Amino acid sequence: MKPFGYENWKVMHMPTDTLSPVFSALADPTRRAILLRLMDGDASVSELGAPFDMSQPAISKHLRVLESAGLISRSRVATARYSHLEAKPLEQANEWMQQYKQFWNESLDKLDTALADYLNSERGKERA
């Protein structure tokens, strides 16, 4: 992890209208499974639906959610529609989460020290 600086601050202030659709799309286990499958390469609707007990229209609906979040792009080859993983929004969401995790872990380390110092000085006052 990079030391905290302007770039990190900027990531933490990423407008949520970019991130919210991505997190919403990722909130569903089927859609996460579809994304993981697409990491192995582009796939058609029927290929993507094969592991699930789900109708093709239901799979297509999930694909539309992923597409509107910018997580996949789709192209037509003959009669089949192929989905392609777009990694950028995932990378942004991951960066955002990692940034907050690091921010809070480091802040709470400092809180721990500050609390100990504070309580020690309070105890000192009581004794005096």
Partner 1 sequence: MSNDTIPEVPEVTDSDVFITRAFEAPREVVWNFFTRPELVALWFGPKEVHVDPASVIIELKVGGRWELDMVDNVTGERYPMRSTLVVVTPPEYLEGAAEALPGSGPQNDLRLRIWFHDHGAKTRLTIHQGPFTPEFRDMTCLGWESSFAKIDELLASGIA
Q: How far is the CB of 44 from partner 1 (least distance, A)?
A: 19
Backbone torsion region of residue 16, taken as left when φ is above 0, otherwise alpha when ψ lies between -120 and 50, otherwise beta? alpha
Report, in Å, the least distance between residue 78 CB and partner 1.
25
Q: What are the phi and psi torsion angles at 74 (to 5°)?
A: -130, 145
- Amino acid identity of 95? E
Q: Is 4 in the site for partner 1 (CB under 8 A)?
A: yes
- The footprint of partner 1 on residues 65-124 (CB under 8 A) is 85-88, 90-91, 94, 97-98, 100-119
Sheet holding 43-44, edge to edge: 43-44, 80-85, 72-77
Residue type, 47: E
Residue 37 CB, nearest approach to partner 1 (Å)? 11
Q: Please give the size of the binding site for partner 1, defined by CB under 8 A.
A: 51
- Asked whether position 59 contacts partner 1 by CB under 8 A, the answer is no
**Angstrom distance (rounded) from CA 85 to CA 90:** 10
Rounded distance between C-alpha atoms, residue 98 and residue 101, angstroms? 5
Q: By CB under 8 A, tell whether 29 contacts partner 1.
A: yes
Interface residues toward partner 1, by CB under 8 A: 3-6, 8-9, 13-16, 19-20, 23-24, 26-29, 32, 35-36, 39, 85-88, 90-91, 94, 97-98, 100-119
